[in-house]
């Protein structure tokens, strides 16, 4: 079953045709990796999945992005969409407040006033992000005092607290050391049991380790999409073969 479906999607930044007739199914409760060289459109596509590109001046989009069968580019509640389709960015971006308040922020913004409900969700979300045991004794300490890897897991906890169905991750480990990267990858393996995950990554090894499906982009085009093992072991397109072999990219 597909959680999201992109159909015949074109995106323009002014005159620049950044995404060209993209069609891509995104299955539920799996990890789909988007790979390709810098500037090929993978992060741009990621941002179309929760309409983050609405915030960019001069963007024109045509085609469909279906979320459980409903076109998100129709007349929908975009705020509600972004609660259901959460996002974790390349650089950890905790708010300048306590660890607890970072996770509770969205719940309070939604109008939740029951302090026990908030406390329970904060703990559940931190546990879900494999961070609770590391921070439970200092929940009211500044989030900016955490390590980079801990900050990124806090951002994941913040996303989980909103109880999304999909989590978009834009190169979530590119700023992290190998140990922190390993922890995030282990976390993604657990998160896929509950959430649909779409990740942009420059690391082909990471895509091979963590994803069920991989889509390869080249100059705004979706060149190839397959089960991850198939795409890396038996790529069909010569551009895919060159990229996964390290010949170019």
Q: How many domains does the chain have?
A: 1
Counting residues of the chain whose pLDDT is more than 70, the rounded percentage is 99
- Looking at the domain assignment, is residue 115 inside a domain? yes
Backbone dihedral angles phi then psi of residue 105, each to the nearest 5 degrees? -55, -50
- Looking at the domain assignment, is residue 120 inside a domain? yes
Predicted pLDDT at 48: 96
Predicted pLDDT at 103: 97
- Looking at the domain assignment, is residue 27 inside a domain? yes
- Looking at the domain assignment, is residue 21 inside a domain? yes
- Looking at the domain assignment, is residue 217 inside a domain? yes
4-48 residue pLDDT tens: 999 999 999 999 999 999 999 999 999 999 999 999 999 999 999
Counting residues of the chain whose pLDDT is more than 90, the rounded percentage is 88
Neighbours of 208 (CB within 10 A): 17
- Strands of 38-77 (E only): list them: 59-67, 70-71
Predicted pLDDT at 95: 95
Q: Predicted confidence band at 167 (pLDDT cuts at 50, 70, 90)?
A: very high
Q: Predicted confidence band at 57 (pLDDT cuts at 50, 70, 90)?
A: confident
- Looking at the domain assignment, is residue 249 inside a domain? no
For residue 140, the domain's CATH number is 3.40.50.300
Residue 158, both tokens: 């913040």
Predicted pLDDT at 110: 87
What is the mean pLDDT of the segment spanning 115-129?
95
- Are 14 and 31 in contact by the 8 Å Cβ rule? The answer is no
Per-residue DSSP letter, 227: E
196-231 residue pLDDT tens: 999 999 999 999 999 999 999 999 999 999 999 999
Residue 145 belongs to domain spanning: 4-244
């Amino acid at each position: 079953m597909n959680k999201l479906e992109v159909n015949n999607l074109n995106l323009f930044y002014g005159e620049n045709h950044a995404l060209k007739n993209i069609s891509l199914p995104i299955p539920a409760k799996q990890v789909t990796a988007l790979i390709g060289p810098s500037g090929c459109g993978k992060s741009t596509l990621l941002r179309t999945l929760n309409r983050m590109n609405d915030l960019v001046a001069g963007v024109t989009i045509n085609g469909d992005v279906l979320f459980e069968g409903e076109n998100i580019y129709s007349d929908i509640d975009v705020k509600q969409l972004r609660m259901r389709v959460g996002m974790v960015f390349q650089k950890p971006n905790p708010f300048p407040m306590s660890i607890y308040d970072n996770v509770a922020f969205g719940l309070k913004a939604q109008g939740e006033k029951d302090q026990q409900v908030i406390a329970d969700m904060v703990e559940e979300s931190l546990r879900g992000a494999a961070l609770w045991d590391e921070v439970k004794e200092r929940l009211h300490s500044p989030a900016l005092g955490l390590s980079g890897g801990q900050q990124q897991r806090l951002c994941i906890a913040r996303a989980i607290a909103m109880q999304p169905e999909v989590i978009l991750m834009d190169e979530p480990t590119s700023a992290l050391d190998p140990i922190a990267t390993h922890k995030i990858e282990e976390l993604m393996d657990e998160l896929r049991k509950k959430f649909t995950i779409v990740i942009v990554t420059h690391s082909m090894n990471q895509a091979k380790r963590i994803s069920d499906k991989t889509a390869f982009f080249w100059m705004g085009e979706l060149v190839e999409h397959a089960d991850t093992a198939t795409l890396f072991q038996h790529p069909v397109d010569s551009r895919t073969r060159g990229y996964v072999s390290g010949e170019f990219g």
